Amino acid sequence: MGERGRLRVLLGAAPGVGKTFTMLEEGQRLLAEGKDVVVGFLETHGRQATARMAEGLPSVPRARVTYRGVEVEEMDLDAVLTRRPEIALVDELAHTNTHADDATGPRHNKRWQDVEELLAAGIDVISTLNIQHIESLNDVVEQITGVPQRETVPDSVLRTADQIELVDLAPQALRDRLTRGVVYPPDRIDAALSNYFRLGNLTALRELTLIWLVDEVDIALQRYREMYGIGATWEARERVVVALTGGPEGETLLRRGARIAARAGGELLAVHVTSQDGLRSGNPAALAMQRALVEQLNGSYHQVAGNDIPAALVEFAKSVNATQLVLGASRRGWLVSALTGRGIGATVVRESGDIDVHMVNIAGAAERWTLPRITGALTRLRRILGFVLALIGGPLLTAALFPFRGPDAVWSIGICYQLLIVVTALVGGLWPALITAVLSGVTIDYYFIEPYSTVHIYQPEHWLALLMSVVAAALVSFIVDRAARRTRIARRAAAESELIQTVAGSVLRGDNAIQALVDRTREALQIPGVRLVRTDAANAGGSGEAGDTVLATAGEPVRDERFTSIPIGETAVLELHGAELHASEQRLLAVITAQLTAAMEFEELSETAKSIEPLAASDRIRGALLSALSHDLRKPLAAATAAIGGIRLAGPQLSEDDREELLATAEESLTSLGALVTDLLDVTRIQAGTLRLHCSPNDPAEPIAAALDELGAGPDRVTLGLNHDGALAMIDPVLLQRALVNLLTNAERHSPVDVPVHVSTSVFGDTVEIRVIDRGPGVEPERHDQIFVPFQRLGDTDNSTGLGLGLALSRGFVESMNGTLTPEATPGGGLTMVITVPRAAAATGTDAGDDTL
């Protein structure tokens, strides 16, 4: 087996950007350099410039395959392998091969599989691909364009490519190229511009292509650095890492980091370090808000585990090749820093190496908000400092007092050691103080009482002095412990007050109070998870069994032996997961229970109010209907009554011409009255959901023609541009005709006399679109939804035109057929009404390659 060939992929954001032309241009250049280049497969799509660029390039004859009576040309893989060129030009990497009716033909289903075989044979390949055909981006492209892509290339194939080049063209330049007929024939231009090649679609696809390509470059760079063991930072691109603790300072740090990244045109990354045992974590609510802020700032959020925070931060920054690291300044006092050594910031600065570190001083920064526990008076840090002081302070004091030893200095020396005992008690509590007292007594006897270097207590008063030292240490420790306990109780009471104030405000404001209460409960109790479950009264002691509804959750609720259930009213249960409650927390839970009950009652009242809103809306519609009936129905009734009355009173004295005129007036008035009553009945049926439908596959051109016949509209009033290529739509022809009549009537009324209304059709994915385009004054985008409100004319003061139901009825008819009716601004002025209806499944084909619209 020889050396594997090299794959070079020309990537574009959309059809028509020039990938095939660039591939052929590169083939011509390589051929001129004396390389053995052949065209394995080329699809020109009828583009003359592409065909001219292929002239002079050797090509391998294509294989012909008969499929369902149609002859299709595919790449002849065996012929290319037999020809064995240095470089093969293979267009449309994502193409699906066609197999003959007798199952003969290409041995691979996909063209990229053919390319893999060429590469394995040692043949270099240059191919083309659109971003829409990358497997991992398939769903994203479908969301952007509305067109599902059935032909895709696995990401693993692209990652093995030796070279991926971007063939780029600005969206507006591509639309201009499409308008000139360079990309598609004239009969397909309007449909393409109105659907796949919309400016927004092209802009989004271009951005997606650039982002994907940048990520692939980063992956390639990281792979190279790992291959050669390169740990130093390569400043090929600014990457700013912001360290988040879960505290309130995170928002300031993120905005500072975003400004740094924006000035350098770099990338923003946020990272939060948790302990590997999961015991240390930031404020979940704050971290969630900061994560959302990172996404708003076009950054990415990461969470890593590590017990050594500085080391984890530096390791992460180096792993992403970061150039700058932003973190908040330490909030520790100078004494704590002196006793415990360097803080996180200082350690990160020392270990960061080539990474620039920004220490941001946050004036309002504070530790994570939680309710302090009162089970332990002194913190672990203070107890550790007490033992350290006991073990180090004694020898240091002994060394300092040793030169002054003598019979007369014993009592002064004892007072000094007594001071050490008190200081140790103040810092570390009882046990460090007791150890200091015992060690001090032994030290005094050994070094400062004759005979020296012996530990013998001959006099009873020395025993009493040692006992008093121990008692003093115990008393001071007790006082310190009690003061610390009272401090913690005071802090907890203040925190409880803050919590009660917060949740009460949430209930009064009504802004998602239940979720706020659940979040605050988890933060206050420092437990893994909290969940509020609505359950039946009979199961009030249960917790979220099948059929129950979870109203709110915080953290990660997991049932275990410490699962606690608290009833909330008669229909809900508050579940506390992962901790046993202390007696001091019961009062806080009582407050939370009361607030949750009030919040749930508030929510039930809000739901009741929302259920009343449709009734109020119906009353408003009825009022508008009565108002419209009293005005719009009166005119045709009065006209018809007057005409008939005139005929009856005049009798034989009325001339034949006058009689015909009065009868025509009566007929016209009664016809208008019948149309108004029909519209009112249709509105009633639509609102009641009783409108009968008969949807079936139909050509949309038929209801369009019927609507034009009904209106008597000729080419001088309406022009057509039907580009749906015979596609069928699932429609009710009668309802669609009535909707079109309303839209055409409205468009004619607002268009200039000498400018006809234009009606066009097109196919967009699994839908068929009908556009009614006028050149009138148009409607402001913010008022588009208002034109569909019944019984109003949006500034139209011509009360002779009806009840203002035409557009409302049209939307109701279209939506009843599972379609949509949306307004758009017409380029150059005017309004375009777009009817979108489902395409009949039997008419849905599979598009291939760059022809996908």
pLDDT on residue 386:
77
* Start-end of H helices in 309-450: 309-319, 334-340, 344-351, 380-401, 410-428, 430-447
Domain map (residue ranges) of the chain: 7-226, 239-360, 380-486, 634-688, 696-850
Mean of pLDDT values over 550-558: 74
Please give the helix or strand (H or E) that residue 37 lies within, else none.
Answer: strand 37-41
pLDDT on residue 373:
45
pLDDT on residue 546:
44
pLDDT more than 70, % of the chain: 71
Query: 3-state SS of the chain: helix, strand, coil percent to 5?
Result: 55, 15, 30
Mean of pLDDT values over 77-89: 92
Higher-pLDDT residue of 599 and 22 is: 22
Q: Return the CATH number of the domain spanning residue range 7-226.
A: 3.40.50.300
Task: Decide: 787 and 779 in contact? Cβ < 8 Å.
Answer: yes
Give the gyration radius of the chain's Cα atoms.
41
Please state, in angstroms and rounded to a whole number, the distance separating the CA atoms of residues 346 and 325: 13
Instruction: Give CA angle at 141 (135, 142), nearest 5°.
Output: 100
pLDDT on residue 220:
57
Q: What is the pLDDT of residues 214-266, one digit of tens each?
A: 666 655 555 555 555 555 544 456 788 998 887 778 888 888 888 888 877 77
Tokens of 76: 């002849």
The DSSP output letter for 10 is: E
Looking at this protein, which amino acid is placed at residue 754? D
Kindly indicate whether the domain formed by 239-360 is annotated with CATH number 3.10.20.90.
no
Higher-pLDDT residue of 61 and 492 is: 61
Please state, in angstroms and rounded to a whole number, the distance separating the CA atoms of residues 644 and 199: 59
Q: What is the pLDDT of residues 425-476, one digit of tens each?
A: 777 777 777 777 777 777 777 777 777 777 666 666 666 666 776 677 677 7
pLDDT at 357 over 60: yes
pLDDT more than 90, % of the chain: 10
* Start-end of H helices in 450-585: 460-509, 513-525
pLDDT at 38 over 90: yes
Lowest mean pLDDT among 1-15, 457-471, 515-529: 457-471
Instruction: Read off the pTM.
Output: 0.38
Lowest mean pLDDT among 229-238, 414-423, 475-484: 229-238
Q: What is the pLDDT of residues 597-648, one digit of tens each?
A: 777 777 777 777 777 766 665 565 555 555 545 555 666 777 777 777 777 7
pLDDT on residue 581:
59
Where are the extended beta strands (E) located within 548-608? 549-555, 564-568, 572-577
Q: What is the pLDDT of residues 655-666, one digit of tens each?
A: 777 778 778 877
Looking at this protein, which amino acid is placed at residue 130? N
> What is the CATH topology of the domain spanning 696-850?
Heat Shock Protein 90 (3.30.565)
Task: Decide: 123 and 829 in contact? Cβ < 8 Å.
Answer: no
- CA 385 and chain centroid, separation: 48
pLDDT at 209 over 50: yes
Task: Tokens 């067109």: give the residue.
Answer: 147
Residue 213 burial (CB count, 10 A): 16
| pLDDT band, very low/low/confident/very high, at 361 (cuts 50, 70, 90) | confident
- CA 167 and chain centroid, separation: 28
Are the folds of 7-226 and 696-850 the same?
no
